[in-house]
Structure 1
Protein backbone atom coordinates (compact mmCIF):
# COMPACT_ATOMS: atom_id res chain seq x y z
CA UNK A 1 0.00 0.00 0.00
CA UNK A 2 1.37 3.42 -1.00
CA UNK A 3 2.35 5.32 2.18
CA UNK A 4 2.10 8.66 0.40
CA UNK A 5 -1.51 7.88 -0.46
CA UNK A 6 -2.18 6.95 3.17
CA UNK A 7 -0.66 10.27 4.28
CA UNK A 8 -2.91 12.05 1.78
CA UNK A 9 -5.95 10.24 3.18
CA UNK A 10 -5.01 11.24 6.76
CA UNK A 11 -4.65 14.89 5.77
CA UNK A 12 -8.00 14.97 3.97
CA UNK A 13 -9.56 13.49 7.11
CA UNK A 14 -7.84 16.11 9.30
CA UNK A 15 -8.68 19.11 7.15
CA UNK A 16 -12.01 18.04 5.69
CA UNK A 17 -11.04 19.50 2.35
CA UNK A 18 -9.33 18.30 -0.85
CA UNK A 19 -8.29 21.89 -1.63
CA UNK A 20 -6.62 22.50 1.72
CA UNK A 21 -4.91 19.11 1.53
CA UNK A 22 -3.58 19.98 -1.92
CA UNK A 23 -2.16 23.23 -0.53
CA UNK A 24 -0.63 21.42 2.43
CA UNK A 25 1.01 18.73 0.28
CA UNK A 26 2.02 21.16 -2.51
CA UNK A 27 0.06 19.39 -5.22
CA UNK A 28 -3.26 19.73 -7.08
CA UNK A 29 -6.79 18.85 -6.08
CA UNK A 30 -6.88 16.46 -9.03
CA UNK A 31 -3.86 14.60 -7.63
CA UNK A 32 -5.50 14.39 -4.20
CA UNK A 33 -8.73 13.05 -5.71
CA UNK A 34 -6.78 10.49 -7.72
CA UNK A 35 -4.90 9.21 -4.65
CA UNK A 36 -8.11 8.86 -2.64
CA UNK A 37 -9.81 7.10 -5.55
CA UNK A 38 -6.94 4.62 -5.82
CA UNK A 39 -7.16 3.91 -2.07
CA UNK A 40 -10.92 3.43 -2.23
CA UNK A 41 -10.54 1.02 -5.15
CA UNK A 42 -7.76 -0.91 -3.42
CA UNK A 43 -9.70 -1.19 -0.14
CA UNK A 44 -13.08 -1.73 -1.77
CA UNK A 45 -14.82 0.88 0.41
CA UNK A 46 -15.87 4.52 0.16
CA UNK A 47 -13.71 6.60 2.50
CA UNK A 48 -15.43 10.00 2.27
CA UNK A 49 -18.87 11.47 1.80
CA UNK A 50 -18.63 14.56 -0.41
CA UNK A 51 -21.13 17.44 -0.32
CA UNK A 52 -21.21 21.22 -0.73
CA UNK A 53 -19.79 21.73 2.77
CA UNK A 54 -16.70 19.61 2.20
CA UNK A 55 -15.81 15.98 2.84
CA UNK A 56 -16.51 13.78 5.86
CA UNK A 57 -15.32 10.32 6.75
CA UNK A 58 -17.72 7.46 6.19
CA UNK A 59 -18.07 4.75 8.85
CA UNK A 60 -15.53 2.66 6.92
CA UNK A 61 -13.31 5.73 6.60
CA UNK A 62 -13.18 6.14 10.37
CA UNK A 63 -12.00 2.54 10.67
CA UNK A 64 -9.32 3.03 8.01
CA UNK A 65 -8.09 6.26 9.62
CA UNK A 66 -6.96 4.50 12.80
CA UNK A 67 -4.99 1.92 10.84
CA UNK A 68 -3.52 4.57 8.51
CA UNK A 69 -2.22 6.65 11.42
CA UNK A 70 -0.79 3.51 13.04
CA UNK A 71 1.02 2.59 9.81
CA UNK A 72 2.49 6.08 9.45
CA UNK A 73 3.61 6.02 13.08
CA UNK A 74 5.24 2.62 12.49
CA UNK A 75 7.07 4.04 9.49
CA UNK A 76 8.40 6.86 11.67
CA UNK A 77 9.57 4.40 14.34
CA UNK A 78 11.34 2.43 11.62
CA UNK A 79 13.15 5.58 10.51
CA UNK A 80 14.15 6.22 14.11
CA UNK A 81 15.57 2.71 14.48
CA UNK A 82 17.65 3.26 11.33
CA UNK A 83 18.91 6.64 12.50
CA UNK A 84 16.87 8.51 9.90
CA UNK A 85 14.46 10.30 12.22
CA UNK A 86 16.24 13.64 11.96
CA UNK A 87 16.40 13.65 8.16
CA UNK A 88 13.40 15.96 7.90
CA UNK A 89 12.69 17.55 4.55
CA UNK A 90 9.86 19.44 2.90
CA UNK A 91 8.01 22.63 3.72
CA UNK A 92 7.12 23.87 7.19
CA UNK A 93 4.57 26.70 7.40
CA UNK A 94 5.11 28.77 10.55
CA UNK A 95 2.87 31.61 11.71
CA UNK A 96 4.22 34.25 14.09
CA UNK A 97 2.84 37.28 15.86
CA UNK A 98 4.75 40.55 15.78
CA UNK A 99 6.12 40.23 19.32
CA UNK A 100 7.97 37.04 18.38
CA UNK A 101 9.37 38.66 15.24
CA UNK A 102 10.91 41.42 17.36
CA UNK A 103 12.39 39.10 19.98
CA UNK A 104 13.65 35.56 19.23
CA UNK A 105 12.42 34.65 15.72
CA UNK A 106 15.79 35.29 14.03
CA UNK A 107 17.49 32.91 16.46
CA UNK A 108 14.88 30.23 15.74
CA UNK A 109 15.30 30.53 11.97
CA UNK A 110 19.09 30.27 12.36
CA UNK A 111 18.68 27.14 14.50
CA UNK A 112 16.27 25.63 11.95
CA UNK A 113 18.72 26.25 9.12
CA UNK A 114 21.47 24.62 11.17
CA UNK A 115 19.58 21.55 12.44
CA UNK A 116 17.17 20.91 9.55
CA UNK A 117 18.84 22.23 6.39
CA UNK A 118 16.50 20.27 4.10
CA UNK A 119 13.39 21.94 5.52
CA UNK A 120 11.96 24.90 3.62
CA UNK A 121 10.44 27.41 6.06
CA UNK A 122 7.48 29.52 4.96
CA UNK A 123 6.68 32.36 7.39
CA UNK A 124 3.37 34.16 7.90
CA UNK A 125 3.16 37.23 10.16
CA UNK A 126 -0.31 38.02 11.48
CA UNK A 127 -2.39 38.59 14.59
CA UNK A 128 -2.92 35.73 17.04
CA UNK A 129 -6.59 35.46 16.08
CA UNK A 130 -5.85 35.08 12.38
CA UNK A 131 -2.98 32.69 13.00
CA UNK A 132 -5.23 30.43 15.06
CA UNK A 133 -7.83 30.33 12.30
CA UNK A 134 -5.19 29.47 9.70
CA UNK A 135 -3.80 26.64 11.83
CA UNK A 136 -7.26 25.13 12.30
CA UNK A 137 -7.92 25.36 8.55
CA UNK A 138 -4.66 23.56 7.80
CA UNK A 139 -3.03 26.59 6.19
CA UNK A 140 -0.26 26.63 8.82
CA UNK A 141 1.58 23.81 10.60
CA UNK A 142 2.90 25.61 13.68
CA UNK A 143 2.15 29.02 15.18
CA UNK A 144 3.56 31.20 17.95
CA UNK A 145 0.88 33.42 19.49
CA UNK A 146 -0.95 34.40 22.69
CA UNK A 147 -3.99 32.10 22.88
CA UNK A 148 -4.53 28.46 23.80
CA UNK A 149 -6.20 26.65 20.91
CA UNK A 150 -8.59 23.92 21.95
CA UNK A 151 -9.27 21.61 19.02
CA UNK A 152 -8.84 17.95 18.16
CA UNK A 153 -5.30 17.14 17.08
CA UNK A 154 -3.88 20.49 18.24
CA UNK A 155 -1.34 20.78 21.05
CA UNK A 156 -0.20 23.88 22.96
CA UNK A 157 2.93 24.69 24.92
CA UNK A 158 3.66 27.89 26.83
CA UNK A 159 7.08 29.19 25.84
CA UNK A 160 7.49 32.48 27.72
CA UNK A 161 5.77 35.45 29.33
CA UNK A 162 6.26 39.09 28.36
CA UNK A 163 5.67 41.59 31.21
CA UNK A 164 4.48 45.05 30.18
CA UNK A 165 5.62 48.57 31.06
CA UNK A 166 4.36 52.06 30.27
CA UNK A 167 7.03 53.48 27.96
CA UNK A 168 7.51 57.10 26.82
CA UNK A 169 10.07 59.06 24.83
CA UNK A 170 12.57 60.78 27.12
CA UNK A 171 12.26 64.57 27.25
CA UNK A 172 9.09 64.49 25.17
CA UNK A 173 5.80 66.09 26.14
CA UNK A 174 4.66 62.85 27.80
CA UNK A 175 7.82 62.52 29.90
CA UNK A 176 6.41 64.01 33.06
CA UNK A 177 5.49 63.02 36.57
CA UNK A 178 2.20 61.13 36.79
CA UNK A 179 0.37 61.16 40.09
CA UNK A 180 -1.67 58.01 39.40
CA UNK A 181 -2.77 55.52 36.78
CA UNK A 182 -5.87 57.67 36.22
CA UNK A 183 -3.61 60.66 35.53
CA UNK A 184 -1.57 58.64 33.03
CA UNK A 185 -4.73 57.45 31.29
CA UNK A 186 -5.63 61.02 30.40
CA UNK A 187 -3.00 60.64 27.68
CA UNK A 188 -3.23 58.50 24.56
CA UNK A 189 -2.28 54.86 25.19
CA UNK A 190 -0.78 52.71 22.44
CA UNK A 191 -1.29 48.96 22.58
CA UNK A 192 -1.66 45.87 20.43
CA UNK A 193 -4.33 45.11 17.83
CA UNK A 194 -7.99 45.24 18.78
CA UNK A 195 -9.43 42.04 20.26
CA UNK A 196 -5.94 40.58 20.80
CA UNK A 197 -5.13 39.02 24.17
CA UNK A 198 -2.91 41.97 25.26
CA UNK A 199 -5.61 44.46 24.23
CA UNK A 200 -8.38 42.61 26.06
CA UNK A 201 -6.24 42.13 29.17
CA UNK A 202 -5.37 45.83 29.18
CA UNK A 203 -9.03 46.84 28.96
CA UNK A 204 -9.92 44.47 31.80
CA UNK A 205 -7.07 45.75 33.95
CA UNK A 206 -8.02 49.40 33.46
CA UNK A 207 -11.68 48.63 34.11
CA UNK A 208 -10.73 46.96 37.40
CA UNK A 209 -8.79 50.10 38.30
CA UNK A 210 -11.89 52.24 37.77
CA UNK A 211 -10.92 53.54 34.33
CA UNK A 212 -13.71 52.32 32.03
CA UNK A 213 -13.03 54.47 28.96
CA UNK A 214 -9.28 55.06 28.39
CA UNK A 215 -7.93 56.69 25.24
CA UNK A 216 -6.48 53.61 23.54
CA UNK A 217 -5.11 53.38 20.02
CA UNK A 218 -4.81 49.77 18.82
CA UNK A 219 -1.94 49.06 16.42
CA UNK A 220 -1.11 45.67 14.89
CA UNK A 221 2.60 46.42 14.37
CA UNK A 222 5.18 46.46 17.16
CA UNK A 223 7.52 48.50 14.97
CA UNK A 224 4.79 51.10 14.46
CA UNK A 225 4.04 51.30 18.20
CA UNK A 226 7.72 51.82 18.98
CA UNK A 227 8.04 54.52 16.29
CA UNK A 228 4.94 56.36 17.51
CA UNK A 229 6.15 56.24 21.12
CA UNK A 230 9.55 57.57 20.02
CA UNK A 231 7.81 60.43 18.19
CA UNK A 232 5.79 61.34 21.29
CA UNK A 233 2.42 60.31 19.87
CA UNK A 234 1.41 58.37 22.98
CA UNK A 235 2.39 56.18 25.89
CA UNK A 236 3.19 52.63 24.87
CA UNK A 237 2.04 49.56 26.78
CA UNK A 238 4.98 47.47 25.64
CA UNK A 239 7.12 44.55 26.78
CA UNK A 240 10.36 46.28 27.79
CA UNK A 241 12.33 43.47 26.14
CA UNK A 242 11.16 44.84 22.77
CA UNK A 243 12.63 48.28 23.48
CA UNK A 244 15.68 47.23 25.49
CA UNK A 245 18.07 49.23 23.29
CA UNK A 246 15.96 52.36 23.57
CA UNK A 247 15.73 51.96 27.35
CA UNK A 248 19.47 51.32 27.71
CA UNK A 249 20.38 54.29 25.52
CA UNK A 250 18.00 56.58 27.39
CA UNK A 251 15.90 57.37 24.32
CA UNK A 252 12.89 55.95 26.19
CA UNK A 253 12.01 55.45 29.82
CA UNK A 254 9.68 53.03 31.60
CA UNK A 255 7.27 54.77 33.95
CA UNK A 256 6.98 53.47 37.53
CA UNK A 257 3.21 52.99 37.34
CA UNK A 258 1.44 49.64 37.45
CA UNK A 259 0.25 48.24 34.17
CA UNK A 260 -1.47 45.03 33.03
CA UNK A 261 0.47 41.88 33.98
CA UNK A 262 1.59 41.06 30.46
CA UNK A 263 0.91 38.07 28.25
CA UNK A 264 2.23 34.63 27.40
CA UNK A 265 3.33 33.28 24.05
CA UNK A 266 2.39 29.71 23.15
CA UNK A 267 3.45 27.30 20.47
CA UNK A 268 0.38 25.66 18.93
CA UNK A 269 0.73 22.87 16.39
CA UNK A 270 -0.95 19.90 14.81
CA UNK A 271 0.22 16.61 16.32
CA UNK A 272 -0.10 13.09 15.03
CA UNK A 273 1.35 10.59 12.62
CA UNK A 274 3.45 12.23 9.92
CA UNK A 275 3.76 15.48 11.91
CA UNK A 276 6.97 14.71 13.80
CA UNK A 277 8.70 17.76 12.30
CA UNK A 278 6.24 20.04 14.11
CA UNK A 279 7.15 18.43 17.43
CA UNK A 280 10.87 18.66 16.68
CA UNK A 281 10.64 22.38 15.90
CA UNK A 282 8.63 23.04 19.08
CA UNK A 283 11.41 21.35 21.07
CA UNK A 284 13.96 23.46 19.21
CA UNK A 285 11.98 26.62 19.95
CA UNK A 286 12.11 25.82 23.68
CA UNK A 287 15.90 25.71 23.53
CA UNK A 288 16.03 28.94 21.51
CA UNK A 289 13.73 30.74 23.96
CA UNK A 290 15.80 29.56 26.94
CA UNK A 291 18.98 30.86 25.30
CA UNK A 292 17.28 34.17 24.45
CA UNK A 293 16.19 34.58 28.07
CA UNK A 294 19.83 34.40 29.16
CA UNK A 295 20.65 37.35 26.89
CA UNK A 296 18.08 39.79 28.33
CA UNK A 297 17.10 41.08 31.74
CA UNK A 298 15.36 38.20 33.55
CA UNK A 299 12.46 40.39 34.67
CA UNK A 300 11.74 41.34 31.06
CA UNK A 301 11.29 37.81 29.68
CA UNK A 302 10.06 35.00 31.93
CA UNK A 303 10.19 31.28 31.23
CA UNK A 304 7.37 29.07 32.52
CA UNK A 305 8.08 27.20 35.74
CA UNK A 306 8.32 23.43 35.34
Structure 2
Protein backbone atom coordinates (compact mmCIF):
# COMPACT_ATOMS: atom_id res chain seq x y z
CA UNK A 1 0.00 0.00 0.00
CA UNK A 2 1.35 3.41 -0.98
CA UNK A 3 2.35 5.39 2.13
CA UNK A 4 2.17 8.70 0.25
CA UNK A 5 -1.49 8.01 -0.53
CA UNK A 6 -2.15 7.14 3.11
CA UNK A 7 -0.41 10.32 4.26
CA UNK A 8 -2.53 12.37 1.85
CA UNK A 9 -5.71 10.73 3.13
CA UNK A 10 -4.73 11.42 6.75
CA UNK A 11 -4.13 15.10 6.07
CA UNK A 12 -7.40 15.50 4.16
CA UNK A 13 -9.18 13.90 7.12
CA UNK A 14 -7.44 16.22 9.57
CA UNK A 15 -7.72 19.46 7.59
CA UNK A 16 -11.08 18.64 5.97
CA UNK A 17 -9.89 20.36 2.81
CA UNK A 18 -8.24 19.22 -0.42
CA UNK A 19 -6.83 22.71 -0.95
CA UNK A 20 -5.20 22.94 2.49
CA UNK A 21 -3.86 19.41 2.11
CA UNK A 22 -2.28 20.32 -1.22
CA UNK A 23 -0.59 23.32 0.41
CA UNK A 24 0.57 21.20 3.36
CA UNK A 25 2.11 18.54 1.11
CA UNK A 26 3.50 21.01 -1.47
CA UNK A 27 1.45 19.56 -4.32
CA UNK A 28 -1.71 20.33 -6.31
CA UNK A 29 -5.38 19.70 -5.55
CA UNK A 30 -5.56 17.50 -8.64
CA UNK A 31 -2.75 15.35 -7.27
CA UNK A 32 -4.50 15.07 -3.89
CA UNK A 33 -7.71 13.98 -5.62
CA UNK A 34 -5.92 11.38 -7.72
CA UNK A 35 -4.14 9.93 -4.67
CA UNK A 36 -7.42 9.62 -2.77
CA UNK A 37 -9.11 8.03 -5.78
CA UNK A 38 -6.26 5.52 -6.14
CA UNK A 39 -6.44 4.64 -2.44
CA UNK A 40 -10.21 4.15 -2.61
CA UNK A 41 -9.82 1.94 -5.66
CA UNK A 42 -7.13 -0.11 -3.90
CA UNK A 43 -9.28 -0.62 -0.80
CA UNK A 44 -12.57 -0.96 -2.68
CA UNK A 45 -14.43 1.48 -0.42
CA UNK A 46 -15.43 5.15 -0.39
CA UNK A 47 -13.35 7.02 2.19
CA UNK A 48 -14.45 10.64 1.86
CA UNK A 49 -17.56 12.63 1.07
CA UNK A 50 -17.33 16.12 -0.47
CA UNK A 51 -20.21 18.58 -0.40
CA UNK A 52 -20.84 22.30 0.00
CA UNK A 53 -19.92 22.09 3.68
CA UNK A 54 -16.50 20.55 3.00
CA UNK A 55 -15.00 17.10 3.41
CA UNK A 56 -16.15 14.38 5.80
CA UNK A 57 -15.25 10.76 6.48
CA UNK A 58 -17.48 7.84 5.58
CA UNK A 59 -17.82 5.09 8.23
CA UNK A 60 -15.24 3.09 6.28
CA UNK A 61 -13.02 6.17 6.13
CA UNK A 62 -13.05 6.48 9.92
CA UNK A 63 -11.84 2.89 10.25
CA UNK A 64 -9.13 3.34 7.66
CA UNK A 65 -7.95 6.57 9.31
CA UNK A 66 -7.06 4.74 12.54
CA UNK A 67 -4.97 2.16 10.68
CA UNK A 68 -3.41 4.78 8.39
CA UNK A 69 -2.22 6.91 11.31
CA UNK A 70 -0.68 3.88 12.99
CA UNK A 71 1.05 2.80 9.77
CA UNK A 72 2.53 6.26 9.26
CA UNK A 73 3.69 6.43 12.89
CA UNK A 74 5.33 3.01 12.50
CA UNK A 75 7.07 4.05 9.29
CA UNK A 76 8.36 7.24 10.93
CA UNK A 77 9.60 5.34 13.99
CA UNK A 78 11.39 2.85 11.73
CA UNK A 79 13.20 5.65 9.87
CA UNK A 80 14.22 7.30 13.14
CA UNK A 81 15.44 4.00 14.53
CA UNK A 82 17.56 3.26 11.48
CA UNK A 83 19.00 6.74 11.43
CA UNK A 84 19.59 7.14 15.15
CA UNK A 85 22.97 5.42 15.24
CA UNK A 86 24.31 7.22 12.19
CA UNK A 87 22.79 10.66 12.61
CA UNK A 88 24.47 13.20 10.36
CA UNK A 89 25.54 16.48 11.93
CA UNK A 90 26.79 19.47 9.99
CA UNK A 91 25.82 22.22 7.61
CA UNK A 92 24.87 22.41 3.93
CA UNK A 93 25.08 25.74 2.09
CA UNK A 94 22.41 25.67 -0.56
CA UNK A 95 21.92 28.33 -3.24
CA UNK A 96 18.74 28.51 -5.34
CA UNK A 97 17.32 30.76 -8.03
CA UNK A 98 13.92 32.36 -7.49
CA UNK A 99 12.17 29.95 -9.86
CA UNK A 100 12.97 27.01 -7.57
CA UNK A 101 11.85 28.96 -4.50
CA UNK A 102 8.41 29.43 -6.06
CA UNK A 103 7.93 25.83 -7.21
CA UNK A 104 9.42 22.90 -5.26
CA UNK A 105 11.89 24.42 -2.76
CA UNK A 106 9.56 24.04 0.24
CA UNK A 107 9.20 20.32 -0.42
CA UNK A 108 12.99 19.94 -0.66
CA UNK A 109 13.61 21.76 2.62
CA UNK A 110 10.93 19.68 4.34
CA UNK A 111 12.54 16.46 3.08
CA UNK A 112 16.04 17.58 4.09
CA UNK A 113 14.82 18.58 7.55
CA UNK A 114 13.06 15.26 8.09
CA UNK A 115 15.92 13.12 6.81
CA UNK A 116 18.77 15.10 8.37
CA UNK A 117 17.30 16.84 11.44
CA UNK A 118 20.74 17.71 12.85
CA UNK A 119 22.04 19.30 9.67
CA UNK A 120 21.76 23.07 9.45
CA UNK A 121 20.49 24.33 6.09
CA UNK A 122 22.02 27.66 5.11
CA UNK A 123 19.88 28.93 2.25
CA UNK A 124 20.83 31.65 -0.25
CA UNK A 125 18.37 32.88 -2.89
CA UNK A 126 19.97 34.86 -5.71
CA UNK A 127 20.33 35.14 -9.46
CA UNK A 128 21.97 32.26 -11.31
CA UNK A 129 24.95 34.47 -12.18
CA UNK A 130 25.62 35.32 -8.54
CA UNK A 131 25.05 31.74 -7.39
CA UNK A 132 27.63 30.43 -9.85
CA UNK A 133 30.14 33.01 -8.64
CA UNK A 134 29.59 32.05 -5.00
CA UNK A 135 29.91 28.34 -5.75
CA UNK A 136 33.16 28.86 -7.65
CA UNK A 137 34.57 30.90 -4.77
CA UNK A 138 33.62 28.17 -2.27
CA UNK A 139 30.93 30.13 -0.46
CA UNK A 140 28.19 27.61 -1.40
CA UNK A 141 28.12 23.79 -1.55
CA UNK A 142 25.17 23.13 -3.89
CA UNK A 143 23.33 25.46 -6.26
CA UNK A 144 20.19 25.13 -8.39
CA UNK A 145 20.43 27.44 -11.43
CA UNK A 146 20.43 27.54 -15.23
CA UNK A 147 23.87 26.59 -16.61
CA UNK A 148 26.18 23.59 -16.66
CA UNK A 149 29.51 24.47 -15.04
CA UNK A 150 32.78 22.95 -16.17
CA UNK A 151 35.45 23.24 -13.52
CA UNK A 152 37.81 20.73 -11.92
CA UNK A 153 36.32 20.91 -8.43
CA UNK A 154 32.69 21.36 -9.53
CA UNK A 155 30.23 18.89 -10.99
CA UNK A 156 26.93 19.68 -12.73
CA UNK A 157 23.85 17.70 -13.66
CA UNK A 158 21.09 18.76 -16.03
CA UNK A 159 17.80 18.16 -14.17
CA UNK A 160 14.82 19.58 -16.03
CA UNK A 161 13.27 22.26 -18.23
CA UNK A 162 10.59 24.76 -17.27
CA UNK A 163 8.48 25.52 -20.39
CA UNK A 164 8.14 29.27 -20.86
CA UNK A 165 5.19 31.31 -22.09
CA UNK A 166 3.80 34.78 -22.74
CA UNK A 167 1.53 35.68 -19.81
CA UNK A 168 -0.78 38.68 -19.31
CA UNK A 169 -3.45 39.93 -16.93
CA UNK A 170 -6.90 38.71 -17.92
CA UNK A 171 -8.91 41.51 -19.51
CA UNK A 172 -5.96 43.92 -19.66
CA UNK A 173 -5.08 45.84 -22.85
CA UNK A 174 -2.33 43.25 -23.41
CA UNK A 175 -4.87 40.41 -23.43
CA UNK A 176 -5.46 40.23 -27.17
CA UNK A 177 -4.27 38.45 -30.31
CA UNK A 178 -0.87 39.34 -31.75
CA UNK A 179 -0.05 38.78 -35.41
CA UNK A 180 3.66 38.18 -34.74
CA UNK A 181 6.40 38.29 -32.12
CA UNK A 182 7.51 41.59 -33.63
CA UNK A 183 4.10 43.06 -32.78
CA UNK A 184 4.29 41.56 -29.28
CA UNK A 185 7.73 43.13 -28.78
CA UNK A 186 6.24 46.60 -29.18
CA UNK A 187 4.57 46.09 -25.80
CA UNK A 188 6.37 46.11 -22.45
CA UNK A 189 7.90 42.66 -21.84
CA UNK A 190 8.70 41.64 -18.26
CA UNK A 191 11.33 38.97 -17.77
CA UNK A 192 14.19 37.97 -15.47
CA UNK A 193 17.24 39.98 -14.44
CA UNK A 194 19.50 41.56 -17.06
CA UNK A 195 22.20 39.26 -18.48
CA UNK A 196 20.48 36.18 -17.08
CA UNK A 197 20.09 33.33 -19.52
CA UNK A 198 16.27 33.79 -19.85
CA UNK A 199 16.73 37.52 -20.49
CA UNK A 200 19.33 36.91 -23.20
CA UNK A 201 17.23 34.22 -24.88
CA UNK A 202 14.05 36.33 -24.88
CA UNK A 203 16.02 39.27 -26.28
CA UNK A 204 17.53 37.10 -29.05
CA UNK A 205 14.15 35.57 -29.91
CA UNK A 206 12.44 38.94 -30.30
CA UNK A 207 15.34 40.37 -32.29
CA UNK A 208 15.30 37.40 -34.66
CA UNK A 209 11.55 38.01 -35.12
CA UNK A 210 12.28 41.49 -36.46
CA UNK A 211 12.27 43.69 -33.36
CA UNK A 212 15.54 45.61 -33.18
CA UNK A 213 14.78 47.18 -29.80
CA UNK A 214 12.35 45.00 -27.82
CA UNK A 215 10.94 46.70 -24.72
CA UNK A 216 12.38 44.41 -22.06
CA UNK A 217 11.91 45.14 -18.37
CA UNK A 218 14.26 43.08 -16.20
CA UNK A 219 13.09 42.05 -12.72
CA UNK A 220 14.93 39.57 -10.48
CA UNK A 221 11.97 38.72 -8.24
CA UNK A 222 9.18 36.33 -9.24
CA UNK A 223 6.85 37.96 -6.72
CA UNK A 224 7.53 41.38 -8.26
CA UNK A 225 7.02 40.05 -11.79
CA UNK A 226 3.72 38.46 -10.76
CA UNK A 227 2.50 41.69 -9.14
CA UNK A 228 3.42 43.73 -12.22
CA UNK A 229 1.57 41.27 -14.47
CA UNK A 230 -1.54 41.29 -12.28
CA UNK A 231 -1.48 45.10 -12.38
CA UNK A 232 -1.45 44.98 -16.21
CA UNK A 233 2.02 46.53 -16.56
CA UNK A 234 3.03 44.35 -19.51
CA UNK A 235 3.53 40.86 -20.92
CA UNK A 236 5.47 38.35 -18.87
CA UNK A 237 8.04 36.01 -20.40
CA UNK A 238 8.31 33.35 -17.71
CA UNK A 239 7.41 29.74 -16.87
CA UNK A 240 3.66 29.21 -16.28
CA UNK A 241 4.69 27.02 -13.31
CA UNK A 242 5.57 30.20 -11.40
CA UNK A 243 2.05 31.62 -11.68
CA UNK A 244 0.04 28.39 -11.65
CA UNK A 245 -2.29 29.65 -8.90
CA UNK A 246 -2.99 32.94 -10.71
CA UNK A 247 -3.63 31.08 -13.97
CA UNK A 248 -5.99 28.66 -12.21
CA UNK A 249 -7.92 31.56 -10.63
CA UNK A 250 -8.21 33.30 -14.00
CA UNK A 251 -6.26 36.39 -12.89
CA UNK A 252 -3.59 35.72 -15.52
CA UNK A 253 -3.82 34.01 -18.90
CA UNK A 254 -1.31 32.34 -21.23
CA UNK A 255 -1.23 33.80 -24.73
CA UNK A 256 -1.43 31.24 -27.53
CA UNK A 257 -0.55 31.23 -31.22
CA UNK A 258 2.97 32.61 -30.83
CA UNK A 259 6.34 30.91 -30.53
CA UNK A 260 7.13 30.75 -26.80
CA UNK A 261 10.51 31.73 -25.36
CA UNK A 262 13.06 28.90 -24.99
CA UNK A 263 12.49 26.71 -21.95
CA UNK A 264 14.24 27.66 -18.73
CA UNK A 265 16.89 25.07 -17.88
CA UNK A 266 17.36 23.74 -14.35
CA UNK A 267 20.84 22.54 -13.41
CA UNK A 268 22.26 21.38 -10.09
CA UNK A 269 25.96 22.12 -9.52
CA UNK A 270 28.04 21.20 -6.49
CA UNK A 271 31.48 21.26 -4.92
CA UNK A 272 33.13 17.84 -4.95
CA UNK A 273 34.51 16.38 -1.74
CA UNK A 274 32.05 18.19 0.56
CA UNK A 275 30.32 15.99 3.15
CA UNK A 276 26.63 15.29 2.51
CA UNK A 277 26.61 17.01 -0.91
CA UNK A 278 26.02 13.81 -2.91
CA UNK A 279 23.07 12.94 -0.67
CA UNK A 280 21.57 16.42 -1.14
CA UNK A 281 21.92 16.18 -4.92
CA UNK A 282 20.19 12.78 -4.87
CA UNK A 283 17.40 14.19 -2.72
CA UNK A 284 16.97 17.10 -5.16
CA UNK A 285 16.36 14.61 -7.95
CA UNK A 286 13.83 12.63 -5.88
CA UNK A 287 11.83 15.68 -4.76
CA UNK A 288 11.92 17.20 -8.24
CA UNK A 289 10.69 13.90 -9.69
CA UNK A 290 7.67 13.91 -7.39
CA UNK A 291 6.96 17.56 -8.18
CA UNK A 292 7.10 16.87 -11.91
CA UNK A 293 4.73 13.94 -11.52
CA UNK A 294 2.28 16.11 -9.60
CA UNK A 295 2.22 19.17 -11.88
CA UNK A 296 2.68 17.52 -15.29
CA UNK A 297 4.70 18.19 -18.43
CA UNK A 298 3.12 21.57 -19.16
CA UNK A 299 4.83 22.93 -16.05
CA UNK A 300 8.16 21.07 -15.98
CA UNK A 301 9.91 18.39 -18.05
CA UNK A 302 12.55 16.13 -16.53
CA UNK A 303 15.72 15.57 -18.53
Identify whether the pair has TM-score above 0.5, normalized to the shorter chain.
Answer: yes
Structure 1 residue 112, shift from structure 2 partner: 0.1
SS in 2 for 1:111: helix
What does residue 112 of structure 2 align with?
Answer: 112
Structure 1 residue 204, shift from structure 2 partner: 1.7
Using a 3 Å threshold, how does the CA distance of structure 1 residues 86 and 241 change in structure 2: closer, same or farther? farther
**Alignment pair present for 1:270 and 2:271:** yes
Distance 1:161 1:226 in 2: 20
CA distances 1:175-219 after superposition (whole Å, capped 9, x unpaired):
122122111111000000000011111112222222221000000
Considering only aligned residues, what root-mean-square deviation do their CA atoms show, in Å?
1.7
Q: TM-score, normalised by structure 1?
A: 0.69
How many residues end up aligned between the 2 structures?
A: 221
Distance 1:180 1:122 in 2: 45
SS in 2 for 1:140: coil
What does residue 291 of structure 2 align with?
Answer: 292
**Alignment pair present for 1:261 and 2:262:** yes
What does residue 47 of structure 1 align with?
Answer: none
What does residue 188 of structure 2 align with?
Answer: 188
Using a 3 Å threshold, how does the CA distance of structure 1 residues 85 and 146 change in structure 2: closer, same or farther? farther
What does residue 131 of structure 1 align with?
Answer: 131
CA distances 1:244-292 after superposition (whole Å, capped 9, x unpaired):
11111111110012122212111110112xx240110000000000000
SS in 2 for 1:139: coil
SS in 1 for 2:95: strand
SS in 2 for 1:292: helix
What does residue 233 of structure 1 align with?
Answer: 233
Q: Give the conservation status (yes or no) of the 8 Å contact 2:203–2:216.
A: no
Distance 1:265 1:85 in 2: 35
What does residue 165 of structure 1 align with?
Answer: 165
SS in 1 for 2:276: helix
Structure 1 residue 240, shift from structure 2 partner: 0.5
What does residue 55 of structure 1 align with?
Answer: none
Q: TM-score, normalised by structure 2?
A: 0.70
Using a 3 Å threshold, how does the CA distance of structure 1 residues 151 and 172 change in structure 2: closer, same or farther? same
Listed as ranges, the matches of 1:1-16 within 5 Å are none
**Alignment pair present for 1:93 and 2:84:** no
Structure 1 residue 84, shift from structure 2 partner: 9.2
Listed as ranges, the matches of 1:240-259 within 5 Å are 240-256=240-256, 257-259=258-260
What does residue 102 of structure 1 align with?
Answer: 102
SS in 2 for 1:121: strand
